Amino acid sequence: MSRYSVFSLFRHALSHHENWQKVWRNPTPKDVYDVVIVGGGGHGLATAYYLAKEHGITNVAVVEKGYLGGGNTARNTTILRSNYLWDEAAHLFEHSMKLWEGLSQDLNYNVMYSPRGVLNLGHNLQDMRDIERRVNANRLNGIDGEVLNAKQVQEICPLLDCSERARYPVLGASWQARGGVARHDAVAWGFARAADSLGVDLLQQTEVVGIRRHEGAVCGVETNRGFIAAKKVACVTAGSSSLLAKMVGMELPIESHPLQACVSEPIKPILDTVVMSNAVHGYMSQSDKGDLVIGAGIDSYTGYGQRGSFPVIEHTLAAICEMFPDVRRVRMNRAWGGIVDTTPDASPIISKTHIPGLYFNCGWGTGGFKATPGSGNVFAHTVAKDEPHPLAKPFSIDRFHSGHLIDEHGAAGVAH
């Protein structure tokens, strides 16, 4: 795989950019792999990359029923931050944040990581107390964070209505300057290209329809293209995780819900940070091409349709119009939904299972994009060594029996 650089750009310009090699191969499935990863979203692809890069396991297939990065990875609003409340979550998300900081160089692919800062607004006294508690906890964990008053928020984001007349008064916010956004597709493509170049087979249009076992242990997956044998099967299928678990008679503590987002027509730059409000279930940033990227809270019913209901998106847009009156006349271009895999404590499951050779990485719910590199990194360790990475240990599925829950509803349940 040739490296992307200014020199290769120049070299290819001489042949009118007609000879760029394909970004990844389209291989025929082998009969046997050491590891089959089910799900070619960002997390599955990152797992494959770190398995190959850090553990030297390259006889790996990523089996994806649609196209790479076409699930929640393609549908999310790309907010990155690590200001989670509890130590376990804060360490995990901060691990990811550190990987984001060098990811484009590591993958030799521009993931458009943009640390433009994230504001989490407080609209009443209790919001502000929660914000203070969370920022204090973050700082004790070595994570950057500040509590801002309304005046400071207004300076960072002049577009936001911080006046006393505002329908949702702004009392202040938490501010994580290192937070921001990255380009979702580029993250999937960057991990895919890097994994492929290390020998991982990326099998698109290949749906897992069954998981085969021999004497209790996993021995491979049934797919629409035939049986593929594997000593280890790692499921990274987000909203479809319960369906995979059902194939081996397991029940996961996961509910799949629609989560919606929308983008406006592209407009000139007006917003250079990310503004989130848990209280009104709405948040907004502006993409590099100018769209206002707006996200909602989850629809309360469960389902596998990649679309949500009108009242949720209507409520979100009403709140956005109140918070940002200047954008009221901007037209919306597209709205869509993903299927998010929510757990009772709003924390992920990164875990071995009671079935030898079967692993799950799921439950990221509304906020897993920011974790993509970190999740892949710790899950690869868990799969390669058959024991949890120290950062993944608290996120074992056993916590739902032991009661050691990591309740991040305040930090992750609504906003992303």
Ligand X SMILES: Cc1cc2nc3c(=O)[nH]c(=O)nc-3n(C[C@H](O)[C@H](O)[C@H](O)COP(=O)(O)OP(=O)(O)OC[C@H]3O[C@@H](n4cnc5c(N)ncnc54)[C@H](O)[C@@H]3O)c2cc1C
Site size for ligand X (CB under 6 A): 39
Helix (H, G, I), strand (E, B) or coil at 304: coil
User: Site for ligand X (CB under 6 A): which residue of 180, 297, 368, 374?
Assistant: 368
Of 157 and 350, CB closest to ligand X: 350
Least separation in angstroms between residue 311's CB and ligand X is 16
CA distance 386 to 384: 6
Within 275-334, the residues that bind ligand X by CB under 6 A are: 295
- Closer Cβ to ligand X, 173 or 254, answer by number: 254
Told to check if 414 binds ligand X by CB under 6 A, we report no
Q: Three-state DSSP class for 185?
A: helix
Strand partners, 277: 282
44 binds ligand X (CB under 6 A): yes
> Which of 57/234 has CB closer to ligand X?
234
Binding ligand X (rule: CB under 6 A), the pick from 24, 57, 61, 73 is 73
Asked if 230 interacts with ligand X (CB under 6 A), we say no
Residue 325 vs residues 162, 319, 322: alpha-carbon distances, Å: 11, 10, 6
Q: Does residue 84 bind ligand X (CB under 6 A)? A: no
Verify binding: residue 222, ligand X, rule CB under 6 A: no
> Residue 12 or residue 183: which is nearer to ligand X going by CB?
183
Of the candidate spans 84-92, 117-125, 234-242, 318-326, the one that interacts with ligand X by CB under 6 A turns out to be 234-242
Q: Is 200 in the site for ligand X (CB under 6 A)?
A: no
Q: Is 66 in the site for ligand X (CB under 6 A)?
A: yes
Q: Are 82 and 134 in contact, with CB atoms under 8 Å apart?
A: no
The rounded distance, in Å, linking the Cα atoms of 166 and 323 is 7
Residue 370 touching ligand X (CB under 6 A): yes
φ, ψ dihedrals at 342, nearest 5°? -95, 145
Q: Give the H/E segment covering residue 310.
A: helix 310-323
State yes or no: residue 78 binds ligand X (CB under 6 A): yes
Per CB under 6 A, 180 contacts ligand X? no
Measure the CA–CA gap between 394 and 325, rounded to whole angstroms: 43
How many other C-beta atoms are found inside a 10 Å radius of the C-beta of residue 269?
Answer: 8
- Closest CB 232 distance from ligand X, rounded Å: 16
Look up residue 37 and give its amino acid: I
Task: Fill in the per-residue mask, 1 to 30: x = in contact with ligand X (CB under 6 A), - = not in contact.
Answer: ------------------------------
> Residue 416 interacts with ligand X (CB under 6 A)?
yes
Instruction: Give dist(CA 15, CA 335) in Å, integer.
Output: 40
Residue 343 in the binding site for ligand X (CB under 6 A) = no
**Three-class SS of residue 46?**
helix
Which listed residue (71, 117, 180, 220) binds ligand X by CB under 6 A?
71
Is residue 65 within the footprint of ligand X (CB under 6 A)?
Answer: yes
**DSSP states of 312-372 as a string?**
HHHHHHHHHHHH-GGGTTPPEEEEEEEEEEE-TTS--EEEE-SSTTEEEEE--TT--GGGH
- Tracing tokens 């994994």 back to the chain, one arrives at 195
Residue of the chain from 42, 122, 357, 394 that contacts ligand X (CB under 6 A): 42
340 binds ligand X per the rule CB under 6 A:
yes
**Distances 81 to 95, 191, 220, 333 between C-alpha atoms, Å:** 11, 20, 36, 26
| CA dist., res. 314 & res. 2, Å (int) | 47
40 forms part of the interface with ligand X (CB under 6 A): yes
Helix, strand or coil, per DSSP, at residue 202:
strand
Nearest distance, CB of residue 85 and ligand X, angstroms:
16
Among 122, 180, 190, 338, which residue interacts with ligand X (rule: CB under 6 A)? 338
Specify the 3-state DSSP secondary structure of 210.
strand
237 counts as binding ligand X under rule CB under 6 A: yes
Residue 242 interacts with ligand X (CB under 6 A): yes or no: no
Task: List residues binding ligand X (CB under 6 A).
Answer: 38-44, 63-66, 70-73, 75-79, 207-208, 236-238, 240, 259-261, 295, 338, 340, 364, 366-370, 416
